[in-house]
Amino acid sequence: MALNKTLRPGLIQLRVLDLDQTLNFYKNILGLNEVCRTEDGRVCLKAYDEFDHHSVTLRLAEEPGFDYAAFKVDSEETLEKMAEAVEAFGYQTDVVPANTNQPGFGKRIGFTISTGHRLEIYADVELAPQIPETRNPNIWTEEPRGMRAQRLDHFLLYGPNIAEAERFCKEVLGMFVPEVCNTPDGKRLAAWVTSSNKPHDLAFVEYDKPGKMHHVGFLLQDWNDVGHAADIMAINHLKQDIGPTRHAITRGQTIYFWEPSGNRIEVYAGGYTAYPDNPQRVWDSEQLGRGLFYYEGEMIPSFLQIIT
């Protein structure tokens, strides 16, 4: 039974400045596994607890940042219906044929939302060459490495007109919005959006320049692994941004730091179980600092820095 449902953010392509140093971070420090390289030199990686072919693609570029992200939907039927709904919403779509640019991925439908970000949806992707055990499975096959990232979790995008982007995620992608932040005059300043029982699969902050990324988040097991990730960050001389701390928003436990190419990475654990029927949590913008950084109780200036 097709639920016409978006399953999760399944892929993000990031720009990086230096493959060797940055790959060392993603593989040995964050703990992802390299799956393959493309003919044009991009590198595809996945976390140990993911099944699909890969979830992160790194592309060598002049500056760091977000190329695009893609959401997996639950069936070809849903993909076709959603593609129509995207057009009906007013966004032009393009089709990326199977195995184009992203090895192992089936057909993807791409479009650009109001915030200036390219998003894609797809229904088919091959399993990765090495997946978690499925016959009398152990809890892991090879002990998680480095920060022990379990999954690609979410990303935070900055751009104009997030009210429209939020409406698009609800109406077209079938997501819901567990938390929002409004300015005193009632305008949307930020929105946390999910297609699952996690408190966010992606989030938006209103910003005048389009297509910006704030951070990519990876899932850790719990607060203990957040502390361990901080140890790993410190011993590897990664530059800390913020944390360990807790978000009141999503209730997650977290640390932000900079990978060698200048992308901001969050490792994140916890958070409440989100359901679409629960009341939406609403933040007043003058409380946003405390909402983001519950221990600090106020906005942390470095959080305002956006990746070029």
Interaction residues for a copy of itself, span 258-297 (CB under 8 A)? 270, 272-273, 275-284, 287, 290-291, 294-297
Q: How far is the CB of 216 from a copy of itself (least distance, A)?
A: 17
Residues 235-254 that bind a copy of itself (CB under 8 A): 235, 237, 239-240, 243-246, 248, 251, 253
CB of 158 to a copy of itself, least distance (A): 22
- Residue 220 to residue 142: CA distance in whole angstroms: 16
Q: Provide the β-strand partners of residue 266.
A: 217, 256
Q: Please state whether beta strands 33-37 and 94-96 pair in parallel, antiparallel, or not at all (unpaired).
A: unpaired
Calpha distance 21→256 (Å, rounded): 19
Residue with tokens 């607890």: 49
The question of whether 154 is a catalytic residue gets the answer: yes
Question: Interface with a copy of itself includes 198 (CB under 8 A)?
Answer: yes
Site track 201-220 with a copy of itself (rule: CB under 8 A), x = hit: ------------------x-
Q: Is 228 a catalytic residue?
A: no
Binding residue count for a copy of itself, defined by CB under 8 A: 73
Residue 81's contacts (CB-CB under 8 Å, 6 or more residues apart) are 4
Given the complex with a copy of itself, which of 209 and 239 has the nearer CB atom? 239
How far apart are the C-alpha atoms of 26 and 261, rounded to whole Å? 11
**Closest to a copy of itself by CB, 65 or 183:** 183
H or E stretch at 172: none
Q: Which of 54, 117, 200, 214 is catalytic?
A: 200
> Of the listed pieces 86-94, 97-105, 111-119, 223-231, which binds a copy of itself according to CB under 8 A?
223-231
Which position has the token pair 């704030």?
A: 214
Rounded CA separation 185/172 (Å):
27
Instruction: Look at strands 6-16 and 43-46 and give their pairing.
Output: unpaired
Dihedral sign from CA coordinates of 152, 158, 161, 162: positive
For helices 162-171 and 76-89, give the axis angle rounded to 10 degrees.
140
Nearest distance from residue 258's CB to a copy of itself, in Å? 12
Cβ closer to a copy of itself: 93 or 285?
285
Residue 231: CB minimum distance to a copy of itself, A: 6
Cα–Cα distance, 49 to 71 (Å, whole number): 17
List the x/- string, 62-101, binding to a copy of itself by CB under 8 A. ----------x-x---------------------------
The pair of three-digit structure tokens given for residue 127, joined into one six-digit string: 């399993």
Closer to a copy of itself by CB, 118 or 296: give it. 296
Least gap, CB of 182 to a copy of itself (angstroms): 11
From 54, 206, 247, 268, active-site residue: 247
Please check whether residue 205 is in contact with residue 214, taking contact to mean a CB–CB distance below 8 angstroms: yes
Does 186 bind a copy of itself (CB under 8 A)? Our answer is no
Assess whether 256 carries a catalytic annotation: yes
Which C-beta is closer to a copy of itself: that of 208 or that of 277? 277
If 0-12 CB within 10 Å is exposed, 13-18 middle and 19+ buried, where does residue 176 land? middle
Q: Is 142 a catalytic residue?
A: no
Task: List binders of a copy of itself among 14-43 (CB under 8 A).
Answer: none
Is the Cβ–Cβ distance between 282 and 182 less than 8 Å? Answer: yes
Examine the residue annotation and report whether 215 is marked as an active-site residue of this protein.
yes
Residue 303 near a copy of itself by CB under 8 A: no
- Residues assigned a catalytic role: 154, 200, 215, 247, 256, 266
